[in-house]
Amino acid sequence: MCGIAGIHAYLEVAPPVDRAELGRINDRMAARGPDGEGLWLADDGRTGFAHRRLAIIDLSDAGLQPMHSACGRYTITFNGEIYNYLELRRELADKGHVFRSGSDTEVLLHLFAEYGIEMVRRLRGMFAFGIWDATKRRLVLARDPLGIKPLYWADDGWTVRFASQAKALLAGGAVASDPDSAGIVGFHLFGSVPEPFTVWREIRALPAGATMVVDATGPHPAERFYDVAGALAERALRPGRGEPAAQLADAVRDSVRHHLVADVPVAVFLSAGLDSGALLGTMAGLGATATTAVTLAFAEFKGLPVDEAPLAAEVAGRYGARHVVRTVDRAEFESDLPAILDAMDLPTVDGINTWFVSKAAREAGVKVALSGLGADECFGGYPSFRDVPRSVHWLRPVSWIPGVGTLARRGLSAAIRAGLPLHPKAAGVLQYGGSWAGAYLLRRSVYMPWELEDLLSPDLLEEGLRRLAPLSHVASVLQGGRGLGDFDRVSALETSLYMRNQLLRDADWAGMAQSVEIRVPFVDPFFLAALPAGPALARLNAKDAVAAVPDPPLPETVRGRRKTGFVTPVGRWLREAAGPASSGMPDFSAASRGWALRVWQSGWTPPVAA
Write a three-state SS string for 171-204.
Answer: HHCCCCCCECHHHHHHHHHHCECCCCCCCECCEE
pLDDT single digits (tens) 525-536: 999 999 999 999
In angstroms, the Cα distances linking 153 to 121, 204, 448 are 22, 5, 29
Residues 461 and 272: their CA atoms lie apart, in Å, by 41
Segment among 260-269, 333-342, 354-363 with least mean pLDDT: 333-342
Question: Which DSSP symbol is given to 555?
Answer: P
pLDDT digits (tens, 9 = 90+) for 461-479: 999 999 999 999 999 999 9
Burial bucket for residue 383 (CB in 10 Å: 0-12, 13-18, 19+): exposed
Q: pTM of the prediction?
A: 0.93
Evaluate if residue 401 carries a pLDDT over 60.
yes
Report which secondary-structure segment, H or E, holds 25. helix 19-27
Segment 361-388 shows an average pLDDT of 96
DSSP letter at 530 equals H
How many CA atoms within 13 Å lie on the side-chain side of 503?
20
Lowest mean pLDDT among 10-19, 166-175, 221-230, 238-247: 238-247
Which SS3 state, helix, strand or coil, does residue 600 take? helix
Helix (H, G, I), strand (E, B) or coil at 298: strand
With a cut of 90, say whether residue 600 has pLDDT above it: no
DSSP string for 153-167? EEE-SSEEEEES-HH
d(CA 513, CA 342): 10
What does the domain layout of the chain look like in residue ranges? 2-226, 234-373+493-568, 384-476, 571-602
- The lowest-confidence range among 315-319, 373-377, 399-403, 519-523 is 399-403
Reply yes or no on whether the pLDDT at 486 is more than 50. yes
Answer yes or no: are the C-beta atoms of 543 and 381 closer than 8 Å. yes
Give dist(CA 471, CA 218) in Å, integer: 31
Residue 148 host element (H or E): none
CB atoms within 10 A of CB 134: 17
Kindly provide the b/e burial profile for residues 253-264, where b requires at least 16 CB atoms within 10 angstroms of the residue's own CB. Answer: bbbbbbbbbbee
Stretch 225-234: mean pLDDT: 97
Indicate the range of 25-29, 202-206, 346-350, 564-568 predicted with least confidence: 564-568
The pLDDT value given to residue 566: 62
Fold for the domain defined by 2-226:
Glutamine Phosphoribosylpyrophosphate, subunit 1, domain 1 (3.60.20)
Stretch 92-120: mean pLDDT: 96
Q: What is the pLDDT of residue 10?
A: 97
Q: pLDDT confidence of 607, banded at 50, 70, 90?
A: very low
In this chain, the answer to whether the domains covering 2-226 and 234-373+493-568 adopt an identical fold is no
Quick check: 603 pLDDT over 80? Answer: no
* DSSP β-bridge partners for residue 36: 53
Q: Would you state the pLDDT for residue 552? A: 95
Angstrom distances, CA of residue 564 to CA of 276, 307, 359, 561, 609: 14, 11, 23, 9, 38
Tell me which CATH homologous superfamily contains domain 234-373+493-568. HUPs (3.40.50.620)
What's the CA angle centered on 575, arms 572 and 579, to 5 degrees? 140
pLDDT tens per residue, range 137-165: 999 999 999 999 999 999 999 999 999 99
